[in-house]
Amino acid sequence: MKSAWQVGIDVGGTFTDVVALDPATREIRTAKVQTRAADPRAGLIAALSAVNLEWENVADLIHGTTLITNAIVEGHLAKVTLIATEGFGDSLAIGRQNRRHLYRLDLAPKATPQVPAERRIEVRERLDANGQVRVALEDSALTDAIEQAQATGAEAIAVSLLHAYANSTHEARIGAALKGTSIPVALSHLVNPEAREYERTATTVLSASVMPLADRYLEQLESASPEASRLHLFHSSGGMASPAALRNLPLGLALSGPAAGVAAACKVADELGIDHAISLDMGGTTTDVCLIAGGRAEISVDRSLGDHPLRQPMVAIESIGAGGGSIARLSLGAVEVGPDSAGALPGPACYDQGGTTPTVTDANLLLGYLEAGQKLGEKIRLNRDAAQSALAPLARDAGVSVTEAAYGILRVANATMVRALNRVTVERGVDGRDCDLLAFGGAGPMHAVELARAFGISRVIVPAASSVFSAVGCVGAEMQYAQQQTVRMTSADWNRQRLSEIQTRLIERLSAPLQEADYNNDSIAVDFVASVRYSGQSYATEITTPELEDPDALGRQFQETHERLYGFATDEVWELYALRCTVSVPREGSPASTLAASAQGTPQKTESCWFGGEQAVDTLRYDRAAVATDQKIAGPAIIEDAWSTIVVPPGASAKPDQFGHLHIDVGSAE
C-alpha cells in the first residue's frame, strides 16, 4: 500500500525543522536537525531520517527555504543585462527622489543600480499607458537588441518595456526570441504586471538575478525526489507552489520560511476565534512579526529586500536583526544587540563550536531559562562555562555582574522587538494592546511574556509544536498562486467588459499550474482584492471582499474603508487602480493542533532563574508533553519540550487548551 505521508521541512540558517503527518491515522512526527547549507539534498534526507522516513514513503514534501532571501541580502546575485524601451534604460539609476540617509550627506543618497550602464540595452518601441502601440517593434530593432544583450556575457536577462503591463506583445516577442538561448529570461509582464516603472524594472532585474541560483537548487531537489513523491515549495504570499511554477518566478521564494510560520499562525488564530493576533517568530538570526486579522495575514505588494525594491504579493512580515544568535556589544557605555549574528557556525558561544562573542542565547542560558547540557539538534549541547566566558568581558567593561549583563542583553533585544510590534500595529491603525501574541520559533516563547508586558498585551499563546512551527505551516499549506495587475479604471468611466477580461486572464494564468497538477476548476477557489484610490492619490486602499460587479457598491466599500483608516471620505471620482487575484486549492487537516496530556503533570526539577530584582528565584521545570489540559501553572516556571523553552516569569500563569496550545496570562511583573 502506497504511503500518504505529508511532510513539511523548513530550512533555517542554523536548524532544519521537519513535521510529518499521516492523514489516515493523524500520527504526527517532529524533529530538528542541523542545516546542511552546502548540500540541500543531504539536508532534506537527514530531516526525513530524523522522523524515521525514507523519501519514498512521502506522498507530498513541502519545503520552505531561506536560499533566495540570503542570496539577495548577501549580494550573491547573477550578472544581469536589462533590455528597456529606448530612452528608459537609465530608470534603475534614476530611481526615486528618496534619500537612503536623509541627514548623512557623506553617504551615497541611493543604492548603486544593480545593472551598470554597459549592460543596459535600449530597443526602439513604445506603448502608451493604455497599451496602444505608438512605435512598433521592428524585426531589425529586435535582432539588434538580442545581439547586444548576448554580447554582454550576461548570466540572465531582464526585459522591462514601458507600459508592458497594459500590453505584453512587445515583451513576449523579445522573450520568444531569447527562448532558444540558454540564458534565463525574466519578463516584467509576468513578474510584476503593474505600473510604477522603476519598481517594476527593479523587481524584474532582481528576479532575473536569482533565476540561475533557483534553477540549480530546484534541479538538485527534483533529481533527488522519487518519482512517486510530489515536491512543492512554500512561497512568500502564503501557500505552496510547484518547482516548475517557481523556476521562472523565483522571487516567490523570498521570505519562504517566515511566511510558512505566519500561515500556521493564521490557522491557530482562526481555530481559536482570535480577531487580532501578532505572530512572533524568533529564530537564530532574525525575529519576524506579522499582523493577523480575522484569521488572515496582511499581504503587502510594496516591499524592499537588501536595498532592492520588491513588488510582489507577499505576507507583510516585519523582520529585524534580533535573534538567538544576535551578538551583544558595549557601545559608548550602552549595550547593543544585533543586527549581526553568530550564525550557524560558529554560533553562540554556548554551542561550544568555537564561538566567543556574547549572544542572546548565551544570556538566556546564564539566566537559567535554558538548561546547561541541553541538547539542540543532533550534536549541540549547551555549555554554560563557554557562555560565562563570552559575557565576562562585556560585564567587566560595563561594571556589572555577568548575570546583570545577561539580563540587560535580553531587555535590549526585547526593546528592539517592541519597535517591530509598533510597526505592524500602531503604524497601521491597529491598537496592539487588543491583540494576542502568538509566539513560536526556537527563541520566541522565551521572550514572549516580557515582550507582551512591555507592549501592553495581556495574553500570549504558544502553539503546539512551536519550535518547528514554520514546518507546521509547510505541511498544512494549500496550493496557491497570486498576482496583482494594474487596472486604472475610474468610477466615471466604468467598463464592465474590460474588467471581466482582466479577471478572466488573471484566473487563467494563475490556474494553469493547478490544472497541470490535475486539479479541476471546481476545486479551485478564487479570491480578489481591489486597490482603490481617489483620482490624484499616490497610493491605494485595499478592499478585501470587493463588489466588482457593482461599481456603486464598490464605491461605498471604498468610502467606508477610507473613513475608518484616515478619518474622512468624499464623493470625488475614484479609480480601481489594481486588482490582486489569488487562486488556491484548500487542503483538509493540519498538524497545528495536538491533543494535550490527560493527567496532571508534575515538575521535573527546581532550578534558580533570574528575572531581574536582587537575586535569583527557585523556578519549577515542567515537561510540556506531561502538562494536562486546563492545568494551571503559576510562574515562575519553565515549560520545555525537546527543542523549545517557554518562560513563565513571576506574576504570569500558563494553561494548555484541548489542542495543546499554551495560553499564558502575562499578569504583572509587580
pLDDT by residue (tens digit) across 661-670? 999 999 876 5
> Which parts of 590-653 fold into alpha helices (H)?
none
CA 243 to chain centre: 18
The number of residues in the chain equals 670
With a cut of 70, say whether residue 600 has pLDDT above it.
no
Instruction: Report the alpha-carbon distance of residue 527 to residue 542 in Å, rounded.
Output: 13
Task: Report the sign of the C-alpha dihedral through residues 481, 484, 485, 488, in that order.
Answer: positive
Assess whether the region 256-322+430-475 and the region 479-585 belong to the same CATH fold: no
State the number of CA atoms in the 13 A half-sphere of 590 facing the CB. Answer: 26
C-alpha cell at 378: 543532533
Fold of 256-322+430-475: Nucleotidyltransferase; domain 5 (3.30.420)
Phi, psi of 178 (to 5 degrees): -90, -5
Report the chain's C-alpha Rg in angstroms.
26
**DSSP string covering 86-102:** TT-TTHHHH--S--SST
With a cut of 80, say whether residue 341 has pLDDT above it.
no
Q: Work out the pLDDT band at 601, boundaries 50, 70, 90.
A: low
pLDDT at site 352: 86
What CATH number does the domain located at 5-72+216-233 have?
A: 3.30.420.40
With a cut of 60, say whether residue 593 has pLDDT above it.
no
Fold of 75-213: Rossmann fold (3.40.50)
Query: Reading across the β-sheet that carries 645-648, which strands appear in turn?
Result: 605-609, 617-623, 637-640, 645-648
Q: How far is CA 137 from CA 89, 91, 173, in A?
A: 16, 20, 9
Please provide the average confidence, as pLDDT, over all residues in the chain.
Answer: 87
Instruction: Report the alpha-carbon distance of residue 649 to residue 502 in Å, rounded.
Output: 55
Residues with Cβ < 8 Å from 493, sequence gap 6 or more? none
Instruction: Report the alpha-carbon distance of residue 68 to residue 323 in Å, rounded.
Output: 20
Q: What is the mean pLDDT of residues 414-422?
A: 88
Which amino acid, one-letter code, is at 643?
A: W
Instruction: Report the alpha-carbon distance of residue 295 to residue 263 in Å, rounded.
Output: 9
Instruction: Report the alpha-carbon distance of residue 370 to residue 298 in Å, rounded.
Output: 33
State the number of CA atoms in the 13 A half-sphere of 128 facing the CB. Answer: 4
C-alpha cell at 108: 551615497
Instruction: Report the alpha-carbon distance of residue 46 to residue 33 in Å, rounded.
Output: 7
More confident residue, 74 or 119: 119
Q: Are 162 and 132 in contact (CB under 8 A)?
A: no
Q: What is the mean pLDDT of residues 314-318?
A: 85
Asked if omega into 636 is within 30° of 0 (cis), the reply is: yes
Instruction: Please report, to the nearest 10 degrees, the dihedral formed by the alpha carbons of residues 282, 603, 376, 362 taken in order.
Output: 60
With a cut of 90, say whether residue 30 has pLDDT above it.
no
Q: Work out the pLDDT band at 369, boundaries 50, 70, 90.
A: very high
Fold of 479-585: Dna Ligase; domain 1 (3.30.1490)
Instruction: Report the alpha-carbon distance of residue 144 to residue 155 in Å, rounded.
Output: 19
Domain ranges of the chain: 5-72+216-233, 75-213, 256-322+430-475, 326-412, 479-585, 605-665
pLDDT at site 334: 81
Q: Work out the pLDDT band at 1, boundaries 50, 70, 90.
A: very low
Pairing of strands 617-623, 637-640: parallel
Instruction: Report the alpha-carbon distance of residue 214 to residue 222 in Å, rounded.
Output: 12
Q: Work out the pLDDT band at 627, boundaries 50, 70, 90.
A: confident
Instruction: Report the alpha-carbon distance of residue 386 to residue 29 in Å, rounded.
Output: 33
Residues with Cβ < 8 Å from 99, sequence gap 6 or more? 109, 110
Bridge partners, 619 (sequence order): 607
Place of cell 504570499: 237
Q: Are 257 and 234 in contact (CB under 8 A)?
A: yes
Q: How far is CA 94 from CA 113, 163, 187, 188, 309, in A?
A: 9, 18, 21, 18, 13
pLDDT at site 595: 47
3-state secondary structure of 481: strand
Instruction: Report the alpha-carbon distance of residue 512 to residue 518 in Å, rounded.
Output: 10
- Of 465, 418, 68, the closest CA to residue 261 belongs to 465
Q: Work out the pLDDT band at 599, boundaries 50, 70, 90.
A: low
C-alpha cell at 102: 536623509
Which amino acid, one-letter code, is at 265?
A: A
Q: Are 214 and 247 in contact (CB under 8 A)?
A: yes
3-state secondary structure of 324: coil
- Of 184, 209, 216, the closest CA to residue 39 belongs to 216
| Whole-number percent of the chain with pLDDT over 90 | 41
Neighbours of 655 (CB within 10 A): 18
> Which parts of 91-167 fold into alpha helices (H)?
91-94, 139-151
Task: Report the sign of the C-alpha dihedral through residues 377, 380, 381, 386, in that order.
Answer: negative
More confident residue, 68 or 600: 68
Ranges 19-28, 197-206, 410-419: which has the least confidence = 19-28
| Whole-number percent of the chain with pLDDT over 70 | 96
With a cut of 70, say whether residue 476 has pLDDT above it.
yes
Q: What is the pLDDT of residues 536-585, one digit of tens each?
A: 888 889 898 899 999 999 999 999 999 988 889 999 999 999 999 999 88
pLDDT at site 588: 60
